[in-house]
Amino acid sequence: MTQPRREVLEKLTPVLTKRWLSPDAWKIDVYERLDGYAALKKALDVHPDDLIQLVKDSGLRGRGGAGFPTGLKWGFIPQGDGKPHYLVVNADEGEPGTCKDLPLMTYDPHSLVEGIIIASYAIRANQAFIYIRGEAVHAARRLRSAVKQAYAKGYLGTNILGSGFDLDLVVHSGAGAYICGEETALLDSLEGFRGQPRLRPPFPAIAGLYASPTVVNNVGTIASVPYIVLGGADWWKSMGTEKSTGPMIYSLSGRIQNPGQYECGLGITLRELIELAGGMKPGHNLKFWTPGGSSTPLLTAEHIDTPMDFEGVAAQGSLLGTTAMQIFSDQDCPVYATWRWLEFYHHESCGKCTPCREGNYWMVRTYRRILSGEGTHADLDTLLDTANNIFGRSFCGLGDGAATPVMATLNHFKQDYLDYIEGRTAPRLSAKSLVGA
């Protein structure tokens, strides 16, 4: 394992992760000793509109994948409309490779609760929800305990800290469907319906939960807010780049020495992140990687110096997404990896629209055929045609996400496909995998 150079080590900026290694930081008294709820006390003395302006000035962009400006989203909530407003935290983290929200909620749940109270005060919401994925049982337990403690201390409930502001917060566990991470499917699920995406517009900011104005924000986005309130917009902007401000939690997995979460200013490169992670595993050379989960177009070794910010990754034709960086080496097969992702998307497709429901079914069949040594050259044209008909024609982003690795690997690694079809690579699946496919 190689030790990172000092100049690379200095790129670590623990902000949202700073309490993760503090014992018992999930307990409210420990959290309070570590600056906890100081931002809330400060925020309640500020006019809600000024808080929205502060978040706009900080340049904070959504940490759930799309990078939409947070302050702008908050500003969309109509004021004086007489309707209830809601804040819903999307904690349904499910994108393959993504694991930044789960540790945050487990080790530092109060930072999320504190952010929720501040954000709700800013948008004038008196009811907030955390929608957490069903499998995250331990994190949900921690959150429920944090919420209970916050009520007991007067940070939640009526007349919070004597400010006249009331807020109730409910932790709601989903049932383990990836599609419920799509914000409108999440809202349907929260309302008690089957979780399927709604047509947008209207966006949730106008007609969200129970058709009322709703801000849906990712865990990392909301957990950033207390730090911005305490540190100020300029401090936040001192990390990251001009258009992609602040620190970001990068989730590194795969063929590296130390997989895990690395929080650094936006704009760090994969080369530097791999160095922070102790280098590639012995005998492995970088071949391809996902910048932000499997639904972002994968990049190759030649993109190792891409700045990992919204603009830098977009300039390479990909997306920053969830900064879930899955690192594959020359010992990994891009065709096999794509098949594994596709099985996931096929399984998670909600079935509402034809391109995604049917297209994924056919693509999975085709991959199984290729990987069992039964593929033909025509299969590659069929795959590309199917992917092209899913991408941009599906009802929500899941369809695009499924088509993306297919298109990307056919673009970068066509030879790997041909090696299966022409018999140079041994089949990875048995003929049995075709039964029922």
Computed on alpha carbons and rounded to an integer, the radius of gyration of the chain in Å comes to 22
Give the one entry of ligand NAD, ligand SF4, none that residue 151 binds, where binding means its C-beta sits below a cut-off of 5 to 8 angstroms depending on kind: none
Q: Of 65-73, 297-305, 406-414, 429-437, which segment contacts ligand NAD by CB under 6 A? A: 65-73
Give the one entry of ligand NAD, ligand SF4, none that residue 352 binds, where binding means its C-beta sits below a cut-off of 5 to 8 angstroms depending on kind: ligand SF4
Q: Of 15-23, 63-71, 81-89, 266-274, which segment contacts ligand NAD by CB under 6 A? A: 63-71
Least Å distance, CB 353 to ligand SF4, is 3
Beta-bridge partner residues of 215: 87
Give the one entry of ligand NAD, ligand SF4, none that residue 338 binds, where binding means its C-beta sits below a cut-off of 5 to 8 angstroms depending on kind: none
Residue placing its CB nearer to ligand SF4 in the complex, 107 or 395: 395
Least Å distance, CB 280 to ligand NAD, is 25
Tell me which of 97, 174, 321, 405 binds ligand NAD, using CB under 6 A.
321
Using CB under 6 A as the binding rule, whether residue 77 contacts ligand NAD is answered as no
Query: What are the CA-CA distances from residue 59 to residues 42, 238, 244, 312, 333 (Å)?
Result: 20, 11, 7, 16, 39
Residue placing its CB nearer to ligand NAD in the complex, 348 or 379: 348
Asked if 225 and 119 touch (Cβ cutoff 8 Å), the reply is: yes
Residue placing its CB nearer to ligand NAD in the complex, 336 or 344: 344
**SS3 state at 219:** helix
**SS3 state at 365:** helix
Tell me which of 13, 98, 149, 360 binds ligand NAD, using CB under 6 A.
98
**Sequential DSSP letters for 284-334:** --EEEE-SSSTTSPPEEGGGTT-B-SHHHHHTTT---TT-EEEEEETTS-H
Q: Of 46-54, 89-97, 330-338, 378-386, which segment contacts ligand NAD by CB under 6 A? A: 89-97
Q: CA 8, 11, 15 angle in degrees (round to 5)?
A: 150
Give the one entry of ligand NAD, ligand SF4, none that residue 249 binds, where binding means its C-beta sits below a cut-off of 5 to 8 angstroms depending on kind: none
Give the one entry of ligand NAD, ligand SF4, none that residue 36 binds, where binding means its C-beta sits below a cut-off of 5 to 8 angstroms depending on kind: none
Contacts of 375 (CB under 8 A, 6+ apart): 366, 369, 417, 420, 421
Tokens standing for residue 209: 């939960």
DSSP 160: G
Of 250, 249, 191, residue with least CA distance to 224: 249
Asked if 421 and 370 touch (Cβ cutoff 8 Å), the reply is: yes
Please give the residue ranges that form the binding site for ligand SF4 (CB under 6 A): 179, 197, 349-353, 356-357, 394-396, 398-399
Residue placing its CB nearer to ligand SF4 in the complex, 35 or 358: 358
**SS3 state at 50:** helix
Residue placing its CB nearer to ligand SF4 in the complex, 27 or 357: 357
Q: Of 53-61, 91-99, 102-110, 154-162, which segment contacts ligand NAD by CB under 6 A? A: 91-99
Give the one entry of ligand NAD, ligand SF4, none that residue 359 binds, where binding means its C-beta sits below a cut-off of 5 to 8 angstroms depending on kind: none
Residue placing its CB nearer to ligand NAD in the complex, 149 or 245: 245
Using CB under 6 A as the binding rule, whether residue 216 contacts ligand NAD is answered as yes
**SS3 state at 170:** strand
Task: State which amino acid sits at residue 138.
Answer: H
Residues 165-204 that bind ligand NAD (CB under 6 A): 181, 183, 203-204
Residue placing its CB nearer to ligand NAD in the complex, 183 or 272: 183
Residue placing its CB nearer to ligand NAD in the complex, 58 or 98: 98
Of 152, 120, 166, residue with least CA distance to 32: 152
Asked if 266 and 309 touch (Cβ cutoff 8 Å), the reply is: yes
Tokens standing for residue 304: 């190792």
Tokens 């102790």 belong to 278
The neighbour count for residue 364, using CB atoms within 10 Å, is 18
Q: Judged by CB under 6 A, how many residues of this single chain contact ligand NAD?
A: 24
